[in-house]
Amino acid sequence: MMGQQTKVLKQFDNNGDGRLDASERKPAREFLQKERAAGGGRRGFGPREGPGGPGGRGGTKQEAPKPGAKLGPTDVKSFPDAPLYDTKTLRTFFLEFESQDWEKELADFHNTDVEVPVKLTVDGKTYLDVGVHYRGMSSYMAVGEGSKRSLNLALDFAHKDQNIGGYRTLNMLNAHEDPTYLRPLLFLDIAREYLPAAKANFARVVINGESWGIYDNVQQFNKDFVKEWFGTTQGARWKVRGNPGGQGRLTYLGDDPAAYKGIYTIKTKDDPKVWASFIKLCKVLNETPADKLEQALDPLLDIDGALRFIALDNALINNDGYWIRTSDYSIYQDVKGRFHVLPGDVNETFVKPGGPGFGGGGRGGGPGGFGPPMMLAPQMMSQGDKDADQKLTKAEFSALADVWFDKLDADKAGKLNQEQFTEKFADILPAPEGFGPPGGGRGFGPGRFVGPGFFATVDTDKDGSLTRSELKGAFEKWSSDWDSQKSGSLNEEMLRTGLSAALPPPNFGGPGGRGGQGGGRGPRGPGGATMPQVKGVELDPLVAANDPNKPLISKLLAVPALRARYLGYVREIADKWLDWKKLGPVAERYHALIANDVKADTRKLDSTDDFEKGLTQDIQGSGMGPFGGGSMGLKQFADQRRAYLLNYSEVKK
């Protein structure tokens, strides 16, 4: 998820009904467009423009999206009696927006408090005034207009009792980084055997009469979810938003709730008593000696549930999870005051470890991965493209080098060392809205992480200092070398591809590699802890056992009995659920259910070939990250991860 919303609803809600009609949304969009153009929104780090599709971001080169087939309610089967999340049912959701401009409108209102109304028809029944917005961060920004983006549907937006089968909010996810579409469903199927976790199935989505193909339909973490699992709608809920610089570590930050509110987003009433109990949990977790921790923590935390949570996170390698990014998970405090830690987004599971927080870039950190290319290319294009034609000529690229050097060399010394470069580079390439710590992205953006590697690349004479001529020379050389079409300019995809090949993986520990627990040499996570080098799927079940920046793991596993119980869960998950004889038939059933639709889908993010291969074969990628690009076949992951975990010495015990 993104960070703090931009609040515009109240400013443009002229009739005071709590939502914006078409006449109110028009000036609101104009306002937002001006704000963002002036740097008040994403500050040059927006979504990809133009024809979307990852374009070979790990597997087969994907064509530009095209209009899908025309479909109406009479063309598909209805399932009025099947539960909403029945995994054997492929239900069709028909969305009718007021305007054909709906894509741009949703993009304009992304990460704001404005919902765009739509008429929804499902199983022959129509629901009016359903609120819709785009959701996600990397799954949004890495996807261009015309390709599938994730949708959130609020059925109770205007009519509080409106629901489908008792559910008021729907999440239609675009399977970003998952050519199989299966990963969230498989992870959540397993997770529900161990702790409260969302239901999920597949959905076919039709927008304004055109098929937009298959989405993962994943249950919302809200009152409906709490009611199903805990028998009440009461209690407090928090969302720890997805963030490559995640700080949702459950560390103790003092007794002032303000220190926590920028990290943990409360979804229920902002009650001081609730915050006090949450802060107490963090304090007890972090400051209680290991020999007294279980007794002190038991009244405050579902300890067994937390052990199951981190076991699932590790055994199934959740690259959006707590073990790597300390973000993108949920917290619930029940009516008895006990806290429960629950899974959040799980599309980046059943994969090799990597991505922001580990030192790699998504599926290899290549074009379209969430690594240096994805972070840098949009900003460089935005800052250098003076004629707004979505291309950089050699002259524009050279001029960008001059602009950068003037900002970098504020003291007019004529040269910069690496430390000086990296410090200023963080301001040239700031974080997008919601990326990084509370209080703003200054000094936390791509520049902070990529700066050292960028400096080493453009310091062509390797003397430890950078001059204007070196920076301009590097940019001009890139302009020629990366112009694969010999057109005299670079589009964003060429820029992304070139940066992917030229730049080393970012150092997430910042300049000088500050911080560090754990042994061995390797990339560093946002918390400063050294992350190990990992061969394939051989992620150590005790990877963060000594990391003070991940106390939910390190503090619990410092207690011998809890450590043994955790390793028991890891063994059980590996032995039972990663056995392809058990997992395979489920995956194959899901695959068969959607195969024809995926083949016909003109808006999907990966090729049909990758969808077919991804079940039982590795997808070879062109990414240049530390893990080689592409993605593992589900069977390959299950077989290799299971073998490694069952042969791990402490798991064997």
Is pLDDT of 513 > 60? Answer: no
Give the model's pLDDT for residue 621. Answer: 61
Contacts of 79 (CB under 8 A, 6+ apart): 86, 89, 91, 123
Is pLDDT of 55 > 70? Answer: no
Distance CA 402, CA 346 (A): 43
Pick from 49-63, 64-78, 128-142, 593-607: least confident: 49-63
- What are the backbone dihedrals phi and psi of residue 589, each rounded to the nearest 5 degrees, phi first? -65, -45
Distance CA 203, CA 215 (A): 5
Burial class (CB in 10 A: 0-12, 13-18, 19+), 381: buried
- Which of 213, 214, 184 minimizes the C-alpha distance to 200? 184
Stretch 498-521: mean pLDDT: 48
How does pLDDT run across 619-632, given as a tens digit for each residue? Answer: 876 332 333 456 88
Give the model's pLDDT for residue 386. Answer: 85
**Range among 185-199, 509-523, 539-553 with highest mean pLDDT value:** 185-199
Is pLDDT of 167 > 50? Answer: yes
**Structure tokens belonging to residue 128:** 């009016």
Give the model's pLDDT for residue 499. Answer: 83
Distance CA 150, CA 136 (A): 7
Is pLDDT of 514 > 60? Answer: no
Stretch 552-574: mean pLDDT: 97
Higher pLDDT, 520 or 324: 324
Q: What is the dihedral of CA 107, 111, 112, 114, to 10 degrees?
A: 60
Q: How is residue 161 annotated by DSSP?
A: T
Supply the pTM of this predicted model: 0.77
CA distances from 201 to 256, 299, 552 (A): 41, 35, 30
Give the model's pLDDT for residue 46. Answer: 47
Distance CA 557, CA 540 (A): 14
How does pLDDT run across 99-156, given as a tens digit for each residue? Answer: 999 999 999 999 899 999 999 999 999 999 999 999 987 788 778 889 999 999 999 9
pLDDT band at 371 (very low <50, low <70, confident <90, very high): low
Is pLDDT of 444 > 70? Answer: no
Q: How is residue 586 annotated by DSSP?
A: H
Burial class (CB in 10 A: 0-12, 13-18, 19+), 267: middle
- What is the enclosing helix (H) or strand (E) of 215? strand 210-219
Distance CA 119, CA 243 (A): 32
Give the model's pLDDT for residue 366. Answer: 35
* 467, 415 Cβ separation under 8 angstroms: yes
Higher pLDDT, 352 or 186: 186
The C-alpha angle 282, 285, 288, rounded to 5 degrees, equals 125
Give the model's pLDDT for residue 373. Answer: 57
- On average, the pLDDT of the chain sits at 84
Give the model's pLDDT for residue 98. Answer: 94
Give the model's pLDDT for residue 532. Answer: 58
Using only C-alpha atoms, the chain has a radius of gyration, in whole angstroms, of: 24
As beta bridge partners, residue 127 has: 120
Is pLDDT of 588 > 90? Answer: yes
How does pLDDT run across 195-217, given as a tens digit for each residue? Answer: 999 999 999 999 999 999 999 99
Stretch 287-311: mean pLDDT: 98
How many other CB atoms are there within 10 angstroms of residue 66's CB atom? 9
- Which of 230, 242, 219 minimizes the C-alpha distance to 83? 219
Pick from 325-339, 423-437, 461-475: least confident: 423-437
CA distances from 417 to 83, 192, 412, 413, 459 (A): 62, 52, 13, 11, 10
